[in-house]
Amino acid sequence: MYNQVEEVLEKLRPYLLRDGGDVELLDVEDGIVRVRLLGACGNCPSSTLTLKAGIERALLENVPGVKELEQVF
Count of CA atoms in the C-beta half-sphere (13 A) of 10? 6
The helix (H) or strand (E) run that includes residue 72 is none
> What string of pLDDT tens digits covers the 73 residues of the chain?
999 999 999 999 998 899 888 999 999 999 999 999 898 877 777 777 778 788 999 999 999 999 999 999 8
Evaluate if pTM is beyond 0.85: yes
Say how many residues make up the chain.
73
Q: Return the CATH number of the domain spanning residue range 2-71.
A: 3.30.300.130
